[in-house]
């Protein structure tokens, strides 16, 4: 058995309405977002890394969002924001524990993409949204790990 790439791309946006206030947030909604957007990728990564260690290399890409960036943190959408913030933190933790290996893990923001979640008015095509994921999934040995990317460039946490 072998695994070369894991792209954690599943995600949900369960805030009751777009731009929902933290003052109206229900803890259960936050928990469900975190379970899907952060804990599920954590579990998949825990399962993937032993397979990657067998071959000595692997690439893990966590699909995050600019809404999980501390530097850009705004109000509203607390369940989604907190779940992506948690995913970003997990990316950093995993990368630290994988130092010295050729198993690289990074997260990325695809931008606002025309998907079921993004809707038909989104600015980017699915191909444009996937470009950085493909870039990260095919990084050569010795490339960065534990960073946040958008448009193939490192962005601040």
| Catalytic positions, written as ranges | 80
Query: 59 phi and psi, to 5 degrees?
Result: -130, 130
Residue of 47, 45, 75 lying closest to 60 (CA atoms): 45
* Strand 5-8 to 57-63 pairing: parallel
CA-nearest of 53, 41, 44, 42 to 4 is: 53
> Phi and psi at residue 60, in whole multiples of 5°?
-125, 130
Q: How many residues are there in the chain?
A: 157
Instruction: Measure the CA–CA gap between 41 and 141, rounded to whole angstroms.
Output: 23
Q: Helices 78-97 and 40-55 meet at what angle, rounded to 10? A: 20
């Amino acid at each position: 058995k072998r695994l070369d790439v894991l792209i954690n791309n599943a995600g949900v946006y369960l805030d009751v309405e777009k731009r929902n206030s933290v003052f109206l947030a229900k803890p259960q909604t936050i928990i469900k977002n975190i379970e899907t957007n952060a804990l599920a990728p954590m579990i998949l990564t825990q399962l993937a890394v032993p397979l990657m260690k067998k071959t000595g290399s692997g690439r893990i890409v966590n699909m995050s969002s600019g809404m999980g960036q501390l530097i850009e943190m705004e109000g509203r959408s607390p369940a989604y924001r907190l779940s992506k913030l948690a995913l970003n933190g997990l990316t950093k933790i995993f990368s630290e524990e994988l130092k010295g290996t050729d198993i690289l893990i990074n997260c990325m923001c695809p931008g606002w993409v025309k998907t079921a979640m993004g809707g038909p008015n989104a600015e980017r095509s699915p191909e444009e949204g996937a470009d950085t994921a493909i870039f990260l999934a095919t990084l050569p040995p010795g490339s960065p790990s534990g960073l946040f990317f958008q448009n193939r460039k490192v962005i601040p946490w």
